[in-house]
Chains A and B, each alone.
Chain A
């Protein structure tokens, strides 16, 4: 158990719909990262938040958005869903930014499996 909690574990929805994935980081972790893993793309970095502020952006579509709340939990919003958005979405957390004397390990949750029909 990594200490990172993701909900829901499984989600089935239709094209055009909108869903929200939730992530609770490990206690004390300030950074939250979102990744997408589909069969043909591998693990793709989407976005990172640090203490409520966006820190780094990867291959995140404009239809997707995220935020980190004052209690440090994060939500990933996926809208106008397409078949190709079907994937595993992972959240990870770490204590702080790399370079601050911390090992910088990322701890990953078990993922939310999204199926778009």
Chain B
């Protein structure tokens, strides 16, 4: 699975959009970009994933560059409850790859009042 690079930490003001970048320059054509978050010692929570196109759900938007070498997770109106560690993960879709997620260090997002 391709390696990802994320900033160690970020701050965001409550009510503003939080834009979390991720670099995955070695991503291959059959690999998806997944985002998970972990709120202090709780189990990681799925946010969103995508392959090529931008995606949006009730939690967030995912913007993937045309060359797929980087992506941005957008939380449109961050709240204090969004304070968490956010993980960007590249994951193979090939059957025999098993589907496991390999977590990096993630970005610690602090939403401040």
Stretch at the interface among B19-27, B65-73, B99-107: B99-107
Distance in Å: Cβ of A117 to nearest Cβ of chain B: 20
Interface residues of B in 55-105 (CB under 8 A from A): 87, 91-95, 97-105
Residue picked from B49, B94, B101, most chain A C-beta under 10 Å: B101
- How many residues of chain B get a CB closer than 8 Å to chain A's CBs? 26
Q: Which of A2, A4, A99 contacts B94 (CB 8 A)?
A: A99
What are 19 A-B contacts with C-beta separation under 8 Å? A2-B43, A35-B103, A43-B44, A45-B102, A92-B44, A94-B99, A97-B99, A98-B91, A98-B97, A99-B92, A100-B95, A104-B32, A104-B93, A106-B36, A106-B46, A108-B44, A108-B45, A110-B43, A111-B43
Distance in Å: Cβ of B100 to nearest Cβ of chain A: 5
Which residues on B sit within 8 Å (CB–CB) of A107?
Answer: 46
B43:A92 contact, CB within 8 angstroms:
yes
B residues with a Cβ closer than 8 A to A are 32, 36, 38, 41-46, 49, 87, 91-95, 97-106
Q: Which of A44, A105, A110, A111 contacts B46 (CB 8 A)?
A: A105
